[in-house]
Structure 1
């Protein structure tokens, strides 16, 4: 009798395991189909994501104007124009000082190359001019042999720039429409959905909007910290173009990994050609220290507080996103993880049993 009971339990456990495994396979299949559709629609989804992030960044100013009884279209237009003017001002703030000191930078580059050649010709390398000339001839020959690949890469680069411009224009228009018609979207969505979805989906969408807003604000604050501390270090060392480099560091903070690397390389190169190797090494040490603090301390702490995620989850999300889809994955990993947490939290709230109130408390309620 006991053996038959154990066999029955075993068969029931196997049936449950098979059913759960089948459900997991179906979920993975649906996720695969969803990712395939996302990749197929990516030329449309990517401008939509950028426009949404820009809208969360500029919405506070739009909300301020709308509370002052500005028409929605006028408020969105003014904020969009101010955003364009501010972006152009940032570019000018970077480009004008660089252009004004371009002569000094070119002379510094030439001097740096001469110093590098003199250092290479001495011990311990003892590289002579004939060896350098031979290496240059070899490099020129290789470039000539691979001229076709270079042209293909150039055409690909031009296409990437054109796609980037199209994406930027689409994102800007989408930002304008989000700012103009954003508050009307949730009521419209509620009217389109049946049953309980009419209240659940808008509630989750509103929470996700606040999560995205918190992400953009925390990222801007982290970029401000990077720009201030690195700019202060450059000013102490005496590197030229401190203000453009600080602004470049702030802007680059919105592009994970590559942005910080690019801004750091530019700062080190300018320190090398203008101040020499010692100051360049000092600047490199400053940038590494600030970026380590930013990446491992400030950013996880700020994003964990504003997004409701643990600092370890933030680090793991960025690592996973970067390993899966590169820079784009690193950029979107944290907000996606935060929105997943929002959706899961809402589902947990809806599935949890309501807390029973004591009889005495219920009697006292009106």
Structure 2
């Protein structure tokens, strides 16, 4: 009897395990299909994501204008044009001082290469000019042999730049429409959905919007911290172009990983060609310290507070997003994780049992 009972329990457990495994396989299959559809539609989704991020960044100004009697189209147009002019002004703020000191920087590069060759000619390397010339000839020969790969890479790069410009233009137009018609979206969505979905979906969408706005604000604050601390370090060391480098650091903070590396590389390069290798190493140390504090302390703390996520979840989300989709994945990983948390929190609220109402007693007459 006991053997039969154990066999029945075993078969039941195996049957339940098989059913759960089948459900998991179906979920994984649907997830893979959804990711494939997402990748196929990515040329449209990516401008939509950028436009949404820009709209969350510029919505407070639009809301201020609308509350003071501006019509939606006029307020959205004004904010969009202001944002475009501000972006162009930021580029000019970086490019004009660099162009003004181009001769000085060029001479600094030449002097730096000369000092490097003089240092390499002495002990312990003892590299002669003939060896340097031979190495340059070898490099030129390799470049000539790889001219086809270089041309194809150049064509690919030109195509990527063209796609980037198209994406930027589409994102700018989408930002305008989000700012103009955004407040009418949730009422329209409520009218289109049946039954309980008319309440649930707009509520979740509104919470996701607030979460996305919190992410953009926290990211801007983190970029401001980077720009202030790194700019202060550059000013103390005496590196030229402090203001353009600080602005570049702030803008680059919105592009995870690669943005910080690019801004740091530019700062170290300018310090090397203008002040020498010692100051360049000091600048490198400053950038490494600030970036480590930003990536491991400030950003997880700020985003965990503003998004309701633990700091470890933020770090894991950025790592997973970068592994799966590179820079794009790193950019959208944290807000996506936060919105998943919003959806899960709402579902948990709806599935939880309502609190019992306190019992009321009536005094006998």
Give the TM-score taking structure 2 as reference length: 0.98
* Whole-angstrom CA distance in 1 between matches of 2:15 and 2:215: 44
* Whole-angstrom CA distance in 2 between matches of 1:202 and 1:4: 54
* Whole-angstrom CA distance in 2 between matches of 1:294 and 1:145: 43
Q: 1:185-200 alignment to 2 at 5 Å?
A: 185-200=185-200
Q: 1:118-267 alignment to 2 at 5 Å?
A: 118-267=118-267
* Whole-angstrom CA distance in 2 between matches of 1:27 and 1:274: 58
1:74 Cα deviation from its structure 2 partner: 0.4
* Gapped regions of structure 2 (runs ≥ 5): none
* Whole-angstrom CA distance in 1 between matches of 2:103 and 2:111: 12
1:171 Cα deviation from its structure 2 partner: 0.2
1:44 Cα deviation from its structure 2 partner: 0.2
The answer to which of 280-289 and 351-360 deviates more is 351-360
* Whole-angstrom CA distance in 2 between matches of 1:358 and 1:198: 30
Q: Secondary structure at the match of 1:359?
A: coil
Equivalent residue, structure 1, for 2:299: 299
Tell me if 1:110 matches 2:110: yes
Q: Secondary structure at the match of 1:130?
A: helix
Equivalent residue, structure 2, for 1:29: 29
Specify whether residues 34 and 363 from structure 1 end up closer, same or farther in structure 2 by C-alpha distance, changes over 3 A only. Answer: farther
* Whole-angstrom CA distance in 2 between matches of 1:126 and 1:193: 77
Tell me if 1:340 matches 2:343: no
* Whole-angstrom CA distance in 1 between matches of 2:241 and 2:11: 74
* Gapped regions of structure 1 (runs ≥ 5): none
Q: 1:263-282 alignment to 2 at 5 Å?
A: 263-282=263-282
* Whole-angstrom CA distance in 1 between matches of 2:10 and 2:75: 67
State the number of aligned residues.
363
Tell me if 1:51 matches 2:51: yes
Q: Secondary structure at the match of 2:18?
A: helix
* Whole-angstrom CA distance in 2 between matches of 1:146 and 1:17: 57
Give the TM-score taking structure 1 as reference length: 0.98
CA RMSD for the aligned pairs?
1.2
1:363 Cα deviation from its structure 2 partner: 7.7
1:8 Cα deviation from its structure 2 partner: 2.4
Q: Secondary structure at the match of 1:333?
A: helix
